[in-house]
Copies of this chain bind each other. A is one copy, B any other.
Amino acid sequence: MDSWVDGQPADALSLKDRGLAYGDGLFETIAVRGGQPLLLDRHLSRLAQGCSRLAITADQALIRSELLAYAAAMGEGVLKLILTRGDGLRGYAPDPSAQARRILQGNPPAAYPVVHGEQGVRLFPCTTRLSNQPLLAGLKHLNRLEQVIARSEWQDSEHAEGLMLDRVGRVIEGVFSNLFLVRDGVLITADLKRCGVAGVMRAELLFQAESLGIPTQITDISLDQLQWADEVFVCNSVYGVWPVRAYAALSWSVGPLTRKLQTIARALLDA
């Protein structure tokens, strides 16, 4: 399907766009089923938070209506929204009169092997560390060189994802997923106040777990804690939940809470 720029079909972008110049913008990757953008409120909520923190002025109602219209035209697939600060003058100072630019791109449904969800995946031990920057932590912004470098660390198909630590060795997230572990019945995920992307599926699963009375904890996670986890899984808003079977020398069985949350994620993404 054709891309849209500011609501119009387009295949090209102004060379003055600050998304290109500085990575000055945000993005969302949204699963679309039956013409509906899934988990839309959570995507829009994270986007609005990003706009607020980066002081990007954007018409959130217009973005919502465009996403709905584009998804309806797509039918099935993965919709990527890139929201940039728009065109720039020379230099880093934002032009206060610049309008945010909306770029919508449609892709076919993701073609991950079914076995990832059924049998679980192996995580590559990325040596690329996430740097700590509280001003950007949690946002899905366009400065993603750390992920590009990390994802370049492995080419084999043995590893479906890679695990990233921060610079002091805390366990943070996958390259394109969030990570959860289960220990003594508690669902645990990393605190993302210093780095990492606060995923939409992560937020949804925390909410679902709380609704089910499953205790949750958002905290710093050490490699030691990972080692002693009963269950480990990764998630995102496109593939749902993948159990983690192995990371470096560590290995886990696929556990019951992972399966329960996977079923919930699947239902949300099969909507």
Q: Which residues of A are at the interface with B, using a C-beta cutoff of 8 A?
A: 3, 5, 10-15, 17-24, 27, 54-55, 78, 82, 84-85, 90-94, 103, 105, 107, 110, 128-129, 131-133, 135-136, 141-152, 167, 175-176
A88 to chain B, nearest CB (A): 9
User: Which chain B residues lie closer than 8 Å to A13 at the CB level?
Assistant: 12-15, 17, 20
Q: Is the CB of A82 within 8 A of B21?
A: yes
Max chain B Cβ within 10 angstroms of own Cβ: one of A10, A85, A131, A135: A131
User: Which chain B residues lie closer than 8 Å to A22 at the CB level?
Assistant: 23, 142-145, 147-148
Max chain B Cβ within 10 angstroms of own Cβ: one of A14, A82, A150, A167: A167
User: Which chain B residues lie closer than 8 Å to A90 at the CB level?
Assistant: 78, 107, 110
10 A-B interface contacts by CB (under 8 A): A11-B14, A13-B15, A22-B144, A23-B145, A24-B148, A54-B149, A55-B152, A92-B176, A128-B135, A135-B146
Known contacts A23-B22, A131-B133, A144-B22; decide if A3 and B15 are in contact (CB<8 Å). Answer: yes
